[in-house]
Chains A and B, each alone.
Chain A
Amino acid sequence: MSTQSVIGAERDAPGLAAAAPAARPSLDPGLLYAAAGWLAAGTITLFWPNTKEFAHTSDFGVGQWLFAALLVVGYLFSGRLGAVSRWLANNALRLLALAALLTIWQLASAKLGYWPQPYFPPPQGVLDAYVKDYPRLLDSIRASLVLLVAGVALGSFAGFLTGLSTGWSPKVGYWTIPVLRLFGPVPATSLIPIVVFVFPSSFSGGIFLVALAAWFPVAILTWSGVSSVDNSYYDVARTLGARQRFLLLKIAVPASLPHLFVGLFMALGSAISVLVVAEMMGVKAGLGYYLDWAQGWAAYGHLYGALIIMSVLFSSLITLLFRVRDRVLVGRKGEVQW
């Protein structure tokens, strides 16, 4: 029996293969290029005169220099800082590109004045917003997260139950399928005018909208997951003595988990967009509200600052979801590919 070769084949798994090149001791010049880029970017920020006064210009330039210095340290300790070294080696060229982009932004806004002010403040304008307004920003992050997490949790749970019962029981499906077909595709945001007078507070209305946006994709994907379970799984379990309850909880549910995670991924996406719209239109808190406020006061540095926070926050949430999925679907690498 080819026992060894089968287990040996596991070494081809991407996770294990990726670890090998990190041990390479030679210094990677990529990090030096990146450091040079950040040094140049900081120099331009510091010594090229601004067309008008911008706060924190020198702070920002010094920050770019410090980052360049950190990259040099990373270069000197290549391969000896574990995960940090691996990340740096992987992203050296991206860091160089980031320095170039910041410099273009810097030149076009503060140094050459190509971009009209105050609409396109330089990067230090964003830094200024963070320094001055961080308590409010933190508060907005907290408010957005509370609304998003509560809404997605409720909506996904309801969607999971809807999808599971629809896929499992034809009697339930008789009633739920037309509802899913008819009301599923209606954008949750289109209900805002109704939500405004039906719900007692804008907070509960916001939770309802976010939950509704998450409910539909989770319900549809869970339904398709349950109905696409291979019948032979049920046959095997039945001959081994399984009853309905066991078939549902121990076969149908785990078999449809990969679909559920696709649904959750889609749910998170649509929930985030509903969240921001809801915050802009009625909920008087959160990052969406902050954007609206910043625009109203022509505080454009604050606006871009909030946008950057949103991109980092929401992409972290999606990464977190992927991590959870990899944990839950351990052992199913052959089956799930996305």
Chain B
Amino acid sequence: MVAASYKEDLAAEPASTAGAALDIEHVSHAFDLDGSVLSVLDQVSLNVKPGEFVALLGPSGCGKSTLLRLIAGLEPPSRGVLKEDGRAITGPHPSRVVVFQDPTLFPWRTVWNNVALGPEAQGNLKEQRSRVDDAINLVGLSQFAKAYPHQLSGGMAQRVALARALVNDPSILILDEPLGKLDSLTRLTMQSELVSLWRSKGFTAILVTHDVEEAVFLANRVVIFSDRPARIKADFQVDLPYPRHRGDPRLAELRRASLSHLGLDASW
């Protein structure tokens, strides 16, 4: 489904790691809600190796998305430090791009102009016009470059959001339930596309998801959070080569193990 151009590369080794290391050190975070303090993250520490694909799993509202906002630099943590390749994260930077659950495309911009937003904001659109074309190509939407967001389906809009992130060549791609609102067939297609993109580009991927199957199918490491305030409950490797098969008995095993950490293994 994604343009064939990069599928050929898949046989080759994953690209040399363009990804960055991410170190989360004793991070706690709390919100002030009308005077009462709501603690959402409690002493979270996590070291992500360059090029790793980490899935963050946890109950709804446990603070995973807050952690992503901290990684993106959209908010400073109440306590603790986050570091990208050893440098403390103090604000947003195009090397760490977020793809949100809603595509959040700008309705007044065409697909092309949405994807071009990063280079435009950074002031180097002139040199990067072909990169914008490439990114749109990569997600298979070159025919829709001039379309407006309201003309796109949910899956297409999320691909545009992905292209808009990838055009910046991020070293850490932050995915906040990016497939959460898609229908199940589109979702399966886009899961495979995400893996392909990650394998060809080599960025570090941090994925928040509610979907246990998605987590074990995509990631090579799964981190499970407790209820709010979020603490790390489990952290394990998914030692399966790519491309993976959904029917793999090892995946079913890992899935059951993850569900038991979440206290949901009764139905299995």
Contact = CB atoms under 8 A, between A and B. Distances in A.
Interface of A: 1-3, 6-7, 10, 230, 232-233, 235-243, 246, 250-251, 254-255, 257, 329-335
A6 B147 CA distance: 12
Contact of A241 (B93, B151, B156): B93
Nearest to A232: B104
Contacts of B147: 7
Contacts of A330: 148
A329 B97 CA distance: 28
14 contacts: A1-B155, A1-B189, A3-B153, A6-B156, A230-B104, A236-B104, A239-B72, A239-B92, A242-B121, A243-B121, A246-B121, A331-B107, A331-B148, A331-B149
Contacts of B102: 232
Contact of B168 (A7, A240, A243, A331): A240
Contact of A240 (B97, B110, B148, B151): B97
Interface in B11-69: 69
B186 interface: yes
B231 interface: no
B74 A241 contact: no
Nearest to A328: B108
Nearest to B74: A235
Contacts of A6: 151-153, 156
A243 B186 CA distance: 35
Contacts of A239: 72-74, 92-94, 96-98
**Which of A6, A329, A331 neighbours the largest number of chain B CB atoms within 10 Å of its CB?**
A331
B153 A238 contact: no
Contacts of B93: 239, 241
Interface in B77-101: 92-94, 96-98, 100
Contacts of A2: 153
Contacts of A3: 153, 156
Contacts of B178: none
Given A1-B155, A240-B97, A240-B168, A335 B1 contact: no
**Which of A239, A251, A255, A335 neighbours the largest number of chain B CB atoms within 10 Å of its CB?**
A239
B156 A1 contact: yes
Interface in B187-228: 189
Given A10-B151, A233-B106, A235-B74, 20 more contacts: A1-B1, A1-B155, A1-B186, A6-B152, A230-B104, A235-B69, A235-B104, A236-B104, A239-B94, A240-B168, A241-B94, A241-B118, A241-B121, A241-B122, A241-B168, A243-B121, A250-B121, A255-B108, A331-B110, A334-B107
A75 to B, nearest CB: 40
Nearest to A333: B150
Nearest to A13: B151
**Which of A1, A3, A230, A241 neighbours the largest number of chain B CB atoms within 10 Å of its CB?**
A241
Interface of B: 1, 69, 72-74, 92-94, 96-98, 100, 102, 104, 106-108, 110, 117-118, 120-122, 147-153, 155-156, 164, 168, 186, 189
B104 A233 contact: yes
The list of the 4 closest CB pairs from A to B, nearest first, reads A331-B148, A334-B150, A242-B121, A240-B118
**Which of A236, A238, A250, A329 neighbours the largest number of chain B CB atoms within 10 Å of its CB?**
A236
B48 to A, nearest CB: 18
B140 to A, nearest CB: 8
A257 B151 contact: no
A257 B104 contact: no
A332 B107 contact: yes
B12 to A, nearest CB: 26
A3 B151 CA distance: 10
Contacts of B152: 6
A241 B118 CA distance: 6
B159 to A, nearest CB: 9
B150 A332 contact: yes
Nearest to B118: A240
B95 to A, nearest CB: 9
Contacts of B120: 246, 250
B96 A237 contact: no
A240 B117 contact: yes
A237 B151 CA distance: 22
A7 B92 contact: no
Nearest to B96: A239
A331 B150 contact: yes
Contacts of B96: 239
Contacts of B153: 1-3, 6
A332 B148 contact: yes
B107 A238 contact: no
Contacts of A238: 74, 92
A7 B147 CA distance: 10
A246 B1 CA distance: 34
Nearest to A5: B153
B100 A240 contact: no
A299 B112 CA distance: 61
A246 to B, nearest CB: 5
Contacts of B74: 235, 238-239
A179 to B, nearest CB: 30
A235 B153 CA distance: 23
B150 A240 contact: no
